[in-house]
Chains A and B, each alone.
Chain A
């Protein structure tokens, strides 16, 4: 009898024998009044995460930047609005000081006397207090500037990349109106000096640099920009495709770049990743027609003097899907996050795990079945958990969604 009682009591689930897996693997929603949309996620060495997105109250439609820092369990450490009205964040990074850098695009109708679309670069401490902020605007050519990312280089300078509206470069021989030029802007490490326009690459109707990388150990300095354009150096005329350009220390580009063949491609995000003992990069985006797109990715190897394509790959999905973000793990896997179109014309967030050769190893979907959900970023945490960040459309509102899953895509070990 005593043994039976003991067995029954021992079978009782308590906080001693029920593992707190919810602390490690979870889905949590973040936000404030109204609708919040996730844009980007940065992960610190300590596993803390900084999320940026936009926020719109249902009673006041002004778009504000919303930033949240959470601990590795998803608990909010601080959260607040930042910057001015009608500013849309596009990138969050941690610099070598462990400060938080946020790139936002500032609408011309936004705060202050900003006559045209500009970029705001903001530096925030890990405690959430603002350190400095800088508006980058083009008063010379009067081009509209749109940032996509910021990169800190060896000398501490910050390189903001993206694209500029018409007028940045006097393009010749274009078939139609020049819509975009690639853009590289250098910002003083202390925001002390005025930002300098380092490059405005012409020759394309449309184009965008999603990320600039500094080739490690290269003397003199060498940079690569990954993105897309319709530059006709592929011999296929003006066709939008992935593009890697090599730049010298003066941000002058080589006459030709590296681009994969295939259907039209548009890029979303690039990250650096090791390939064996070499340094490599992976660029993700989408390919195909408007009605049916598929995830497209290219992996590059940083050679002694140039960059070469290791492989390009279309990741087949049953529905139209556009790659949004990519991350890699120390174990050699890659994770690609995409927006997947559903039968009801809404999107779900689609996570696919790939081997080092790009072969699909697993997949998982997130979102509400009736809502239009959006992927924002995928990151691998120091403890190998995979963070999926995006926007979920709940029944009454949109919220930023952070999901932590195991490397196999499950909510447990």
Chain B
């Protein structure tokens, strides 16, 4: 109990000390602003020095470095001004000067810098469904009236990656995705019309490395984007459950079948299909999404459709494991596997304030010249 009380008092002490320090720095910044307004510029850096070393409040540091940048500009100390503005961007990477609000020389200075993130990392999670696209229909039996259908089932995927931002609109991303996908293959009318039914639930575990080019909106709280890409996909595991409904006509009298059926059902689980499938695959994909800006990061929702490029069935080993464990009436079609994935994710831009090699100051210069002519 005494230990808890001690910790409580210690936490209270730290919080009150930080609040006190914050208050003190606010007072100091107010005083520095008053000195700036009064034209007493030389003492301002010294006034703020201690607080800049101790106070980590981003908003306060932004205001303090802005004041310093303006001060150095008036003191004709360009190196100090540039360093101060760079520190503004470290405090708030998304700070943008405003020609109507800020002095024009500060706006001019700001055009020499950018904090646009070169890289950003992201992570995502969501459901998916796989769509089989049959290349050749391969049947376990020889009857032409046997029907086969693929049914959608829900899987999931999770992953992360890194974005390289070429500019505010264009970026490239490289991901690593862990994906569980599944589909159902249903065979009916096997060994007779309305007779056997075989439900084959295919479960795949993929590792995918998608590479995409993305076009995004650069402004606003909600930003739309779209992308195209190519993915290398590796099938780690492929297992299946098969449900067999062996339906025989019910004979009430010898040789007199009725419409009733007796079904001899069996389910076999966890069948390994690794030897029957091509483990290396690839896909091209299209996607759209919407990013929601939250502080300096983003949440996003994304929809991606991948077109499988390769035949998932290994045509040379489709039947080779007959002896090794396919004791049920199912055989792979030649098929590609598309995938529709919905993901929600989080983007954390890795901001890097830096001086531009080529400053974007032409428009500001034109405004300065225009203002000069007007005066």
A contact residues vs B (CB 8 Å cutoff): 8, 11-15, 18-22, 25-34, 57-60, 62, 68, 70, 74-76, 79, 348, 365-371, 392-397, 399, 402-403, 410-412
Query: Does B192 sit within 8 A of A, measured CB to CB?
Result: yes
Measured between beta carbons, the chain B residues less than 8 angstroms from A15 are: 135-136, 334
Segment of B10-18, B81-89, B319-327, B339-347 in the binding face: B319-327
A58 to B265, CA, bound (A): 13
Interface string of B313-333 (1 = CB under 8 A from A): 001111110111111110100
Instruction: Report the count of interface residues on B (CB-CB < 8 A).
Output: 48
Contact of B282 among A11, A68, A368 (CB under 8 A): A11
Interface string of B114-151 (1 = CB under 8 A from A): 00000000000000000000011011111110000000
Verify A18–B311 contact, CB threshold 8 A.
Answer: yes
Chain A residue with Cβ nearest B146: A76
Measured between beta carbons, the chain A residues less than 8 angstroms from B331 are: 26-27
Verify A74–B284 contact, CB threshold 8 A.
Answer: no
Contact of B317 among A14, A30, A395, A411 (CB under 8 A): A411
Closest beta carbon of chain A to B318's beta carbon, Å: 6
Measured between beta carbons, the chain A residues less than 8 angstroms from B246 are: 58, 396-397
Verify B325–A368 contact, CB threshold 8 A.
Answer: yes
Contact of B248 among A34, A68, A392 (CB under 8 A): A34
Query: Does B169 sit within 8 A of A, measured CB to CB?
Result: no
Measured between beta carbons, the chain A residues less than 8 angstroms from B40 are: none
Query: Does B153 sit within 8 A of A, measured CB to CB?
Result: no
Measured between beta carbons, the chain B residues less than 8 angstroms from A392 are: 322, 327
A18 to B311, CA, bound (A): 8
Measured between beta carbons, the chain A residues less than 8 angstroms from B329 are: 29, 394, 399
Measured between beta carbons, the chain B residues less than 8 angstroms from A412 are: 315-316
Measured between beta carbons, the chain B residues less than 8 angstroms from A365 are: 323
Residue of B139, B320, B322 with most partner-chain A CB within 10 A: B322
A366 to B322, CA, bound (A): 6
Segment of B92-100, B101-109, B160-168, B249-257 in the binding face: B249-257
Beyond A13-B309, A32-B195, A68-B142, whether A395 also contacts B248 by CB under 8 A is: no
Chain B residue with Cβ nearest A33: B248
Closest beta carbon of chain A to B333's beta carbon, Å: 9
Contact of A393 among B248, B250, B327, B336 (CB under 8 A): B327
Query: Does B244 sit within 8 A of A, measured CB to CB?
Result: yes
Verify B323–A397 contact, CB threshold 8 A.
Answer: no
Verify B318–A57 contact, CB threshold 8 A.
Answer: no
Closest beta carbon of chain B to A319's beta carbon, Å: 13
Closest beta carbon of chain A to B196's beta carbon, Å: 8
A7 to B327, CA, bound (A): 40
Measured between beta carbons, the chain B residues less than 8 angstroms from A31 are: 141, 191
Measured between beta carbons, the chain B residues less than 8 angstroms from A75 are: 142, 144
Beyond A27-B322, A59-B250, whether A394 also contacts B327 by CB under 8 A is: yes
Verify A60–B254 contact, CB threshold 8 A.
Answer: yes
Verify A411–B141 contact, CB threshold 8 A.
Answer: no
Measured between beta carbons, the chain B residues less than 8 angstroms from A26 are: 138, 319, 331
Measured between beta carbons, the chain A residues less than 8 angstroms from B36 are: none
Chain A residue with Cβ nearest B195: A33
Verify B142–A33 contact, CB threshold 8 A.
Answer: no
Verify A396–B309 contact, CB threshold 8 A.
Answer: no
B contact residues vs A (CB 8 Å cutoff): 135-136, 138-144, 191-192, 195, 230, 244, 246, 248-251, 254, 262, 264-266, 268, 282, 284, 307, 309-311, 315-320, 322-329, 331, 334, 336
Beyond A18-B311, A74-B142, A411-B319, whether A370 also contacts B251 by CB under 8 A is: no
Task: Give 23 A-B contacts (CB < 8 Å), ordered by A residue.
Answer: A8-B284, A12-B310, A13-B135, A13-B334, A15-B135, A18-B315, A22-B318, A22-B334, A28-B140, A30-B141, A59-B251, A60-B254, A62-B254, A76-B144, A368-B327, A369-B324, A369-B325, A394-B327, A396-B264, A396-B265, A403-B319, A411-B318, A412-B316
Measured between beta carbons, the chain B residues less than 8 angstroms from A18 are: 135-136, 311, 315, 334
A22 to B262, CA, bound (A): 33
Beyond A13-B310, A33-B249, whether A28 also contacts B191 by CB under 8 A is: no
Contact of A348 among B135, B265, B318, B323 (CB under 8 A): B323
A72 to B334, CA, bound (A): 20
6 A-B pairs with least C-beta separation: A368-B327, A396-B246, A76-B142, A13-B311, A33-B248, A60-B251
Beyond A8-B230, A18-B135, A57-B248, whether A33 also contacts B327 by CB under 8 A is: no
Verify B309–A12 contact, CB threshold 8 A.
Answer: yes
Verify B136–A20 contact, CB threshold 8 A.
Answer: yes
Contact of A394 among B138, B262, B328 (CB under 8 A): B328
Verify A395–B192 contact, CB threshold 8 A.
Answer: no
Measured between beta carbons, the chain A residues less than 8 angstroms from B327 are: 368-371, 392-395
Measured between beta carbons, the chain A residues less than 8 angstroms from B230 are: 8
Closest beta carbon of chain A to B244's beta carbon, Å: 5
Measured between beta carbons, the chain B residues less than 8 angstroms from A62 are: 254
Verify A397–B264 contact, CB threshold 8 A.
Answer: yes
Known: A28-B142, A412-B315. 11 other contacts (CB 8 A): A11-B310, A14-B135, A29-B140, A59-B249, A76-B144, A392-B327, A395-B328, A399-B191, A410-B316, A411-B318, A412-B316
Contact of A368 among B244, B323, B334 (CB under 8 A): B323
A143 to B251, CA, bound (A): 35
Measured between beta carbons, the chain A residues less than 8 angstroms from B311 are: 13, 18
Measured between beta carbons, the chain B residues less than 8 angstroms from A57 are: 248-249, 251
Closest beta carbon of chain A to B70's beta carbon, Å: 47
Measured between beta carbons, the chain A residues less than 8 angstroms from B251 are: 57, 59-60
Measured between beta carbons, the chain A residues less than 8 angstroms from B135 are: 13-15, 18
Verify B326–A368 contact, CB threshold 8 A.
Answer: yes
Residue of A22, A27, A392 with most partner-chain B CB within 10 A: A22
Chain A residue with Cβ nearest B246: A396
A79 to B319, CA, bound (A): 24
Verify A59–B248 contact, CB threshold 8 A.
Answer: yes
Beyond A29-B329, A76-B142, whether A367 also contacts B249 by CB under 8 A is: no
Closest beta carbon of chain A to B313's beta carbon, Å: 9
Measured between beta carbons, the chain A residues less than 8 angstroms from B249 are: 33, 57, 59
Closest beta carbon of chain A to B243's beta carbon, Å: 10
Verify B248–A11 contact, CB threshold 8 A.
Answer: no
Beyond A13-B309, A19-B315, A368-B327, whether A396 also contacts B140 by CB under 8 A is: no
Verify A395–B268 contact, CB threshold 8 A.
Answer: yes
Chain B residue with Cβ nearest A342: B323
Verify B139–A33 contact, CB threshold 8 A.
Answer: no
A74 to B140, CA, bound (A): 10
Beyond A32-B191, A62-B254, A394-B329, whether A411 also contacts B316 by CB under 8 A is: yes
A371 to B324, CA, bound (A): 11
